[in-house]
Structure 1
Amino acid sequence: MPVFSEADDRPHRPDDDSLWQESSLFVWHDREAGVGGFWRLGQEPVVGAVNSCFGVFTHDGLRFRSNVTGAPLAPADRGEAHMGWGPHLRVLFDGGAHIAADFPDCAADLHFADFHPRFDYHAIAMPGRKLAGAAHHFEVSGRMTGRIRIGARELTIEALGYRDRSWVRRDWSTSRGTRWWPCVFGPDLTTHIIHLVHDGRILKVGYVWRDGETIAIVDSDVVVELESDALTPRAGRGVLHLANGDTLEIACDRSDAILMHVRGYTAVETIGTARMGDRVGLSNLEVSSNAGGGSALPLCTLGSNATDGLSRRPA
């Protein structure tokens, strides 16, 4: 099975396509500490732009969010072993991934350690096929550790986490719906499902990492409970049919959610607890519902954070 090298974690040379982008995504949740977070950084070096959505929350309602799209990409935002956005956010790929965040109301010093090799996502989930917008792509479960400050509160975390790296042409205007759902239960068990509405069809792929083995998901059913904003998930459940004949049932709830808006694409990153049988872990249910192909920002949300800066979740 193809595996990406440590060098592929570092920034890549773009081609001359204005839609070429390179992204790095992290999500984490420490149930015991009562804190979770998300960061997706996308850089578009051909057009000199950056997209970043960073969010942190506590279980008792404290929130921080920063979302920019199409912001200027500074020369210092890309280096031999790092990517970032201005003075606020940076990830250093030094054999692992070291994240630094620096805002007046939120700061973080975090390290991500992988649970397994950087498998070629397509070789696992959809052998013989390629998904547009993800030609160079790997996803890895792991553990996020370090410290976070949100407002005046400082927290030490040891969280389950998941990350995603890609570098390829991406056209954000083509997606009409997404259900991207990684769940991490520990070093021995991760599930990943994606349902994508694209080019008039629905693509369903995914994989399971279990006891040192990767198993393709050949079919799946995902149901999402949405709030009345028609945007924010409250819970989700799925049935996964594996290539080896096994069937798994999985469910998740919401601890909090962060709204991401990038180049007209709006999605809600719903972070909470995943359950599968007697296993409990991290869930990040990303949902975008855009059947009509709109690109405007939502006017209101219920349950997801669309406010930049420090805020508190409504009771």
Structure 2
Amino acid sequence: MTDAQVQMVLEPQDEYPHEPDAASNYNESMYLNAFDLEREVGAWFRIGNRVNEGYAEVTVCVYLPGGRVGFAYARPEITSNDEMRAGGLHIEVVTPFEQLRVTYEGKVCLLDDPLQMADPRQAFRDNPMVPCTVALDVRGVSPMYGGRPVRADGTDVVAADDERSFAKAHYEQHIAVTGTITVGDEELTLDGLGLRDKSWGPRYWQALRWYRWLPMVFGPDFAMMISLIGGDDPDRPPRQSGVVLADGAYVPIRECRLESDWDEAQHQTAMRAWVRTDDREYEVTGEVLSLIPLRNRRATPDGATLVTRITEAMTRFTCDGRTGMGMSEYLDQVVDGRAVGPDIT
């Protein structure tokens, strides 16, 4: 099927939860991040409703001054896909494509050294749990990017194999975020920028061999999202995509390359990206400011355990003489104790 026979469709009702597919691994998730470009602090939040499995994945991650991180992860029970609310976190649609409201009431694990989360059991045992509250107003500063792929006859394009699916639909938008986040007795007044996304459909974190996702914001007038996704065949180049926000419009990325620096634990420490659109080329450099390593484990029917590592790093970016903030999110499957990404040294 050619690209001309498929178009991306996005409607206001897609901002709200959908009727779940019959797939046991159906997932509907909303995510957003936000950063203060001057103070170099920020946060990200995610709810992933896995209603057919009876639970939600709920994550709160706050990047505090000095490299500290407040982190919470839970799998609270859910019985419906009616709203994005679980485990004390609520992501509410106020006006589709324009405004969200994010609140959280609960606790986070306060980590002076977020790398301890490589062993989550010990990290939660050895570090204090402190109260955390979040009240954020989220407003779009860009058009919407993405949607669900639809054939010319109006039917959705759906992956044939739920085991290999990561999402059947996905969209993103750069945002402005204002409000407050408290962690223990520390309060962050946030007036920042970031990116949000939503996806729905069957998902296993093991469906992709590796990816590199770099959302970044330099100002309300200039931002990027760079994506590279690797398949099972190491001889084939990764899928390269993304957008550049310039002059109020998204320009698609046609080609991109990424080189990363690594520490001894295979965590990214810095990166250099080259990006080409139809109009011009960009060179982007990134420096990791604070990184927390996360993982997902799944048992297969034959008793094997599949492990996925996701390193979530608040990153300072530079491009065209401007300094911005964002994330470098690197996902790799772990085989024989080693992350599989071909760029890892």
Q: TM-score, normalised by structure 2?
A: 0.75
State whether residues 36 and 56 of structure 1, in contact with CA within 8 Å, keep that contact through their aligned partners in structure 2: yes
Q: 1:85 maps to which residue? A: 86
Q: 1:280 maps to which residue? A: 323
Q: Percent identity?
A: 25
Aligned pairs for 1:109-120 (under 5 A) are 109-120=135-146
> Which of 32, 35, 39 matches 1:29?
35
**Change in CA separation of 1:62 and 1:171 when aligned onto 2, cut-off 3 Å:** closer
State whether residues 91 and 99 of structure 1, in contact with CA within 8 Å, keep that contact through their aligned partners in structure 2: yes
Q: 1:140 maps to which residue? A: 173
The alpha carbon displacement at 1:19 in A equals: 1.5
Moved more, 164-173 or 207-216: 207-216
Counterpart check, 1:73 vs 2:99 = no
> Which of 275, 278, 281 matches 1:243?
278
User: The residue matched to 2:206 in structure 1 has which SS?
Assistant: helix
Aligned residue identity for 1:206: G
User: The residue matched to 1:8 in structure 2 has which SS?
Assistant: helix
Moved more, 196-205 or 276-285: 196-205
State whether residues 259 and 266 of structure 1, in contact with CA within 8 Å, keep that contact through their aligned partners in structure 2: yes
Quick one: distance in 1 between partners of 2:326 and 2:56? Answer: 27
Q: 1:174 maps to which residue? A: 207
Quick one: distance in 2 between partners of 1:31 and 1:120? Answer: 26
C-alpha root-mean-square deviation of aligned residues, in Å?
Answer: 2.5
Q: TM-score, normalised by structure 1?
A: 0.81
> Which of 225, 245, 249 matches 1:209?
245
Quick one: distance in 1 between partners of 2:276 and 2:29? Answer: 30
**Change in CA separation of 1:78 and 1:17 when aligned onto 2, cut-off 3 Å:** closer
Q: 2:94 maps to which residue? A: 94
State whether residues 3 and 119 of structure 1, in contact with CA within 8 Å, keep that contact through their aligned partners in structure 2: no
State whether residues 28 and 38 of structure 1, in contact with CA within 8 Å, keep that contact through their aligned partners in structure 2: yes
Deviation digits for residues 212-244 of structure 1 (CA, Å, limit 9, x no counterpart): 3322222111111122111x2211110001133
The alpha carbon displacement at 1:265 in A equals: 2.6
Ranked by relative contact order (alpha carbons within 8 Å, sequence separation 6 or more), the top structure is 1
Aligned residue identity for 1:25: Y
Q: 2:4 maps to which residue? A: none
Question: Structure 1 stretches of 5 or more lacking a match?
Answer: 124-128, 297-315
Larger Rg: 2
Question: Structure 2 stretches of 5 or more lacking a match?
Answer: 1-6, 108-129, 150-156, 160-164, 298-306, 340-345
User: The residue matched to 1:282 in structure 2 has which SS?
Assistant: strand
State whether residues 193 and 220 of structure 2, in contact with CA within 8 Å, keep that contact through their aligned partners in structure 1: no
Number of aligned positions between the proteins: 283
